[in-house]
Amino acid sequence: MDPIVGRMASSLLAFLLLLDGDMFSPSSPPTGLLEKVFQYIDLHQDEFVQTLKEWVAVESDSVQPVLRLRRELLRMMGLAADRLRNLGARVDLVDAGFQQLPDGQSLPIPPIILAELGNDPKKPTVCFYGHLDVQPARQEDGWVTDPHTLTEVDGKLYGRGTTDNKGPVLAWINAVSTFRALDEDLPVNVKFVIEGMEEAGSLALEELVQKEKAGFFSSVDYIVISDNLWISRRTPALTCGTRGNSYFMVEVKCRDQDFHSGTFGGILNEPMADLVALLGSLVDSSGRILIPGIYDHVAPVTEEEKRTYEAIDLDLEEYRNSSQVKKFLFDTKVKQHLDYIFSKRNSSNQMTVSMTLGLHPWVANIRDNQYLAAKRAIKTVFGTEPDMIRDGSTIPIAKIFQGTIRKSVMMLPLGAVDDGEHSQKEKINRWNYIEGSKLFAAFFLEMAKLH
């Protein structure tokens, strides 16, 4: 594209987005190096979108244990490694071994990328974590377009992985590549940890972090994760906590074989009725958990937290519309309980409860330098203060990094609340993707100032 035409197109797009009323203008125009960086990103945004299109076209589904998809994952990791090498990064593709499946099948785990650019001891070292695997997606599941063909409609870039997490990974790479293209020194040392099994439980990643604690991660000062969303369509967010989760499996068993409903229906305890009663006893219609004592260990919300949450730009009606549900539950020790409820039913069936997965919550120190740098960068790029939020999503690697490496971890999301990660018609707005690339570049400069 001719540079003048590109600049005009970029300016027109920015103007139209501002007219829409959903976007912000920077509080003051960037100057000097930052201005050069922003101009370059604007002029090359179509190239950045084209690369995202190429990455979305790779069906890097880690959830379905199929050899064809594992080959796609290997190809995806290779594409990312090549792009990082082209930037001058030292790239190590760490062999992650094999995944053993219950049926005896063995599938390769895609290698984990460890890459680094710069080792200046005078600069802070910022490590970015992201993943390039995706959830399954088929057009017949409700997509208007082919989920693996990036399609732009009204400034929205539709495709599986656009917001979770290929777009944010590329936005970070775009920021780095801009400094390289301008022949400017990177303000910070940059490291990458990029995996291909996040959607399937991040197989082999925790072991690698432990192994490289005194190696690859020893020089890391800060870790940035961009694998979640804003809480609105308009206002950027910084995530300072996640809630964790506990998964339990409840099974009610009558016998090893099925009973014929016509012959035995009505003369024995129906396992489904037991199961429905058990599950129905866990929460009431307002969403309050009914397990005795469950709230005894919940930390109260502090006054400082209340003040932080009051400033959040949350439009409940917009949030409800984005979620496509009719209403929310609110406007503004699991096994013991089930044993008790089941005993009251006097059922002849057997019940078992097993915990399949438990993940700890994560909370950040928002007074760390990188949170201050991110706030300043958001103000520069978007002209507003960020919402400080805690996310319902669970990103286990944040807790692993924080507990193992013991360095500051920050979540800096790029996607809007209506991006639909894991869902049909997943998208990232072109505006979020391009401005997000600028945000990372501004963040590098702010980190350098604070170090």
The catalytic site residues sit at 133, 198
User: Nearest CA to 73 among 82, 64, 62, 65?
Assistant: 62
How far apart CA 150 and CA 420 sit, in angstroms, is: 15
Cα distance between the two ends of the chain: 39
- The backbone torsions φ and ψ at residue 362, rounded to the nearest 5 degrees and listed phi first, read -135, 135
With 0-12 / 13-18 / 19 or more C-beta atoms within 10 angstroms meaning exposed / middle / buried, residue 305 is: middle
With 0-12 / 13-18 / 19 or more C-beta atoms within 10 angstroms meaning exposed / middle / buried, residue 36 is: middle
| Residues forming a β-bridge with 409 | 223
How far apart CA 7 and CA 386 sit, in angstroms, is: 28
Query: For residues 431 and 24, is the Cβ–Cβ distance under 8 A?
Result: no
User: Nearest CA to 202 among 18, 12, 396, 365?
Assistant: 396
Give the pairing of strands 90-94 and 156-158: unpaired
Radius of gyration of the chain (CA): 24
The helix (run of H) or strand (run of E) holding residue 191 is strand 189-195
With 0-12 / 13-18 / 19 or more C-beta atoms within 10 angstroms meaning exposed / middle / buried, residue 32 is: exposed
Q: Measured between alpha carbons, how far is residue 416 from residues 38, 282, 327, 385 in Å?
A: 21, 32, 20, 16
User: Nearest CA to 410 among 114, 121, 129, 191?
Assistant: 129
Strand order in the sheet with 156-158: 151-153, 156-158, 427-429
Which positions ≥6 away from 68 have C-beta within 8 Å?
none
Ranges assigned E (strand) in 267-420: 350-359, 362-363, 387-391, 408-411
Which positions ≥6 away from 2 have C-beta within 8 Å?
none
Query: For residues 111 and 95, is the Cβ–Cβ distance under 8 A?
Result: yes
What three-state secondary structure class fits 254? coil
